[in-house]
Amino acid sequence: MNQPTPDTAAALINDPTPARVSELLTQIDARLDQAYSNFDRLNRDRIDCKPGCSHCCHRVVPAQIPDVIRVAEHIRSTFTEDQLAELKQRLNDYERAVAPNFGRDLHKLRPTCPLLVNNLCSVYEARPIRCRGIFSADANACEQAKLHPESKAFPALAERQQIAFAAWTNLEEGIKKGAKSGGAYDFGRALKIAIENPEAVQEWLAGEDSFGEAFATPPVQESPPAPVRPGQPKYLPGTEPTGRFDIAGLALPQYIMSREGNFQKALDLAQGDHPGYWLWQIRLPMTYSSEAEVLEWRDYYRKAIDRFKERKWDPREAYDGLAAYCPQSLSYQQFNNREILEELGALTFKITSEALPDLTAPIEGKRREGKIRVGYISRSLRHSSCSPWGLGWLKNHGPEFETYAFHMGDVVDRTTEQFRQAADHFYHLPPGQPVPNQAQLIRSQDLDALIFLDVGVNTGTAQFDALRLARVQCAAWGGPETTGLPTMDYYLSSELMEDPTGDEEYSEKLIRLPGIGVCFLREKLRPSTLFKSDFGLGDEPLYLSTQPPLKLAPQWDELYRRINEATGQPISFIDRKRTASQKVWDRMERNGVKIRLLPLLNIHDYFGLIKLADVVLDSPGWNGGITTIQTLTMGTPVVTLPTELKRGRHSLAMLQASNAPGLVARDIDDYVDLVANVDRRRSVVANIDPNGLYEDMRPVRALEDFLKSVLT
Ligand code: SF4
Ligand code: SF4
């Protein structure tokens, strides 16, 4: 069933209502029951299920939102007030039981389903699709699965499950066609939202992600990939480059580096007879044990560049190898990297221009008459911190502009849809296709300007960065610093972020757009309503850092230690286990910083945590960006200490724009005092006005004026 049946699609596309969704689910149930009845008739002797047997109701049920809507409607129409009050209590208990997992590894939990009453399902007729698929030949095995979740899964009759799976897939296709948020949700948590906040149902039907906090995150890969050593093909003379480098051989080193934090071991494993391996060696650890280690690896980095330059390589193979290259690790060292990035930019351009001379040549001649054609390109035109802010520029261009959006990533979500709808022309060019063909398609649009929203952030984009795809090419602040690329003409930044000497940081010509430089679109933040105890916290003040450990450079440990001393409290950090974080926590503890680690959260629980915080500590050297805006929007103060380079001045700009300059520290002493001194903070917090961060049209108009000035 790859296509939704007409009734499924229609119910979710054409003016959907809760009643229509319920009706749809009833129809799906009727079809399921029909399919099951044949199976059950033939297998009566094999089935052990009976009323009162309920081991399988002690688990997290994966459900789709239409399922949840139907059960909520059923409850509203059949439960008495007393039953509803009891259900609400059970929903609260359920949330307390699953909350510490924050949407992860839910298959390992055995909470009692909030709809189970006296060992019977209280919504049996309306129970979710997944529950309808669960039937077992062995109730004892079910009981063992309930008692031993770590080692045993619930048994199931595969044939019945397949029928339920087909119905699920069909519904999922309908959800996708109806442009709604799909996927598997924690049924209990989603039902709690639907019962307590009926508005969320209407919002979901209108295309919003209103059940996000109940999303059931799929399990992450826990074991390293098997080592692979594919033979790398050598091109025959005259063979066209494919723009694809088989990076299978780098999966294990990548895992070792990012998950285990063992950078040297990763380098030792990433050896091969192909320029892709040699380019991969030009990288740095993601985290450091000390300031001395930072300098040691910086020295290694320079030598790795020299080694690559001394080798002989086929430019087409080297170009394919750029697929695995990314300079972002350099930015975490928090130095001015202009000189190194220019060297790397020249190298990337040499490789690209020798492999694809036609796609790197300047675009000569006058621009075509008519509207100014401006494109936006990123691997992340989706929910991310890299580029969604670019939507405000694109969406608000005046009638003299014709807009293009190029999404180069494989993930497509609601943010991608917003770009698709806002742009006059939208192209999805996912990885895996020959890059030269994709580049040719972009260049053939005859763009006047192309804005690269996040150069140097994602692996896989380097093959595009040194191409000449438009008359004027700009980098923007999704990339943390200068690109160093000779093909990038301008860097679009913010007047509030750049200090007077900012121009010296960039190989591009620096353009200071007004305010924070972007037109940040208003978004509805949906903090979940968890309590401090759900996060394992007590009632003491919460000093929170939300930035990834990669940004916590060793030279700032002293600052955090002094905050411990001044407040008498540990600092809470979020432990992203996938980013070599343990090295940072070990280092901090060695340096006397008292830390408390919180798990990685889904976005809504993350917002909920921020709301509970007394103060959020911005990471000096490389600040938060969108996270600072979101934190201030929720009324939680962010304390920052601006440093010299732009990436250490994001929050300075945002605090100025939100009428909270009093949270900008002058020096380390002042930072510590701002965190510890509640009275001092209180007066500033009362005046925070996040409106200044949103929908500022001045940067859009200034961007347009700038483009007109260089194009006409
Ligand atoms: S699936 Fe297992 S626990 Fe559930 S009713 Fe059937 S036999 Fe009982
Ligand atoms: S919804 Fe009903 S059948 Fe499904 S787990 Fe809950 S109580 Fe059991």
Residue-wise pLDDT for 245-275, tens only, equals 666 778 888 888 877 778 899 999 888 888 9
Q: Name which of 673, 540, 532, 663 is nearest 609 in CA terms.
A: 532
Q: Name which of 452, 451, 457, 407 is nearest 430 in CA terms.
A: 407
User: What would the pLDDT profile of 550-576 be if each residue is shown by its tens digit?
Assistant: 999 999 999 999 999 999 999 999 987
Q: Name which of 582, 357, 3, 115 is nearest 349 in CA terms.
A: 357
Q: Which residues contact 15 (CB under 8 A, 6 or more apart)?
A: none
Residue 676 structure tokens = 């510890």
By three-state DSSP, how is residue 502 classified?
A: helix
Q: How much distance in Å is there from the Cα of 57 to the middle of ligand 1?
A: 8
Please tell me the residue having the least CA distance from ligand 2 atom 5: 57
Q: Starting at the earlier edge strand, list the strands of the sheet with 638-639.
A: 595-599, 571-575, 543-545, 615-617, 638-639
Residue 538 structure tokens = 């007590």
Mutate to test the pocket of ligand 2, among 110, 113, 129 (most ligand atoms within 8 A of CB): 113
- pLDDT recorded at residue 227: 58
Amino acid at 439: A
Q: Which residues contact 87 (CB under 8 A, 6 or more apart)?
A: 75, 79, 114, 115, 122, 195
Q: What is the rounded CA–CA span in Å between residue 517 and residue 495?
A: 7
Q: How much distance in Å is there from the Cα of 177 to the middle of ligand 2?
A: 28
Amino acid at 271: Q
User: What would the pLDDT profile of 334-350 be if each residue is shown by its tens digit?
Assistant: 999 999 999 999 999 99
Query: Predicted confidence band at 683 (pLDDT cuts at 50, 70, 90)?
Result: confident
In terms of Cβ atoms closer than 10 Å to its own Cβ (0-12, 13-18, 19+), residue 72 is buried
Is 277 a residue whose pLDDT tops 80? yes
Residue 473 φ/ψ, nearest 5 degrees? -120, 135
**Terminal CA-CA length for the chain:** 54
Give the mean model confidence (pLDDT) for residues 159-169: 87
- Residue indicated by tokens 């359920």: 94
Q: How much distance in Å is there from the Cα of 50 to the middle of ligand 1?
A: 7
Helix (H) / strand (E) containing 575: strand 571-575
Is 1 a residue whose pLDDT tops 80? no
3-state secondary structure 636-701: CCEEECCCCCHHHCHHHHHHHHCCCHHHECCCHHHHHHHHHCHHHHHHHHCCCCHHHHCCCCHHHH
Query: Predicted confidence band at 215 (pLDDT cuts at 50, 70, 90)?
Result: confident
> What ligand has the least distance to the C-alpha of 71?
2
Of the given ranges (261-270, 616-625, 658-667), which has the lowest mean pLDDT?
A: 261-270
Please tell me the residue having the least CA distance from ligand 2 atom 1: 127
User: What would the pLDDT profile of 278-332 be if each residue is shown by its tens digit?
Assistant: 999 999 998 999 999 999 999 999 999 999 999 999 898 899 889 888 888 899 9
Residue 113 CB less than 6 A away from ligand 2: yes
Q: How much distance in Å is there from the Cα of 175 to the middle of ligand 2?
A: 23
Atom from ligand 2 closest to the CA of residue 59: 5
Is 445 a residue whose pLDDT tops 90? yes
Q: How much distance in Å is there from the Cα of 51 to the middle of ligand 2?
A: 12
- pLDDT recorded at residue 387: 77
Please tell me the residue having the least CA distance from ligand 2 atom 4: 131
Q: What is the rounded CA–CA span in Å between residue 425 and residue 421?
A: 9
Asked whether the beta carbons of 175 and 66 are under 8 A apart, the reply is yes
> What ligand has the least distance to the C-alpha of 56?
1
Helix (H) / strand (E) containing 493: strand 490-494
Q: What is the rounded CA–CA span in Å between residue 648 and residue 621?
A: 4
Residue 121 CB less than 6 A away from ligand 2: yes
368 or 460: which leads in pLDDT:
368
> What ligand has the least distance to the C-alpha of 125?
2
Q: How many residues are present in the chain?
A: 712
Asked whether the beta carbons of 392 and 513 are under 8 A apart, the reply is no
Residue 191 CB less than 6 A away from ligand 2: no
Is 74 a residue whose pLDDT tops 50? yes
Residue 123 structure tokens = 């919504």
Q: What is the rounded CA–CA span in Å between residue 309 and residue 303?
A: 10
Residue 57 CB less than 6 A away from ligand 2: yes
Q: What is the rounded CA–CA span in Å between residue 639 and residue 625?
A: 13
Residue 475 structure tokens = 């980098």
Query: Predicted confidence band at 449 (pLDDT cuts at 50, 70, 90)?
Result: very high
Alpha helices in 512-579 (DSSP H): 557-567
What is the residue-wise DSSP string for 653-670?
HHHHHTT-GGGB-SSHHH
281 or 599: which leads in pLDDT:
281
> What ligand has the least distance to the C-alpha of 59?
2
- pLDDT recorded at residue 2: 44
By three-state DSSP, how is residue 456 classified?
A: coil
Residue 655 CB less than 6 A away from ligand 2: no
- pLDDT recorded at residue 630: 95
Question: Ligand 1 — pocket residues by CB below 6 A?
Answer: 48-49, 53, 55-56, 134-136, 139, 142
Average pLDDT, the chain: 90
Strands 509-513 and 401-407: unpaired
DSSP letter, residue 137: S
Is 620 a residue whose pLDDT tops 60? yes
Give the mean model confidence (pLDDT) for residues 358-367: 91
- pLDDT recorded at residue 670: 97
Give the mean model confidence (pLDDT) for residues 466-476: 97
Query: Predicted confidence band at 578 (pLDDT cuts at 50, 70, 90)?
Result: low
What is the residue-wise DSSP string for 376-431?
EEES--SSSSSSTTHHHHHHT--TTEEEEEEE-SS---HHHHHHHHHSSEEEE--T
- pLDDT recorded at residue 219: 60
Q: What percent of the chain has pLDDT over 70?
A: 94
Q: Which residues contact 295 (CB under 8 A, 6 or more apart)?
A: none
Residue 622 structure tokens = 């490389």
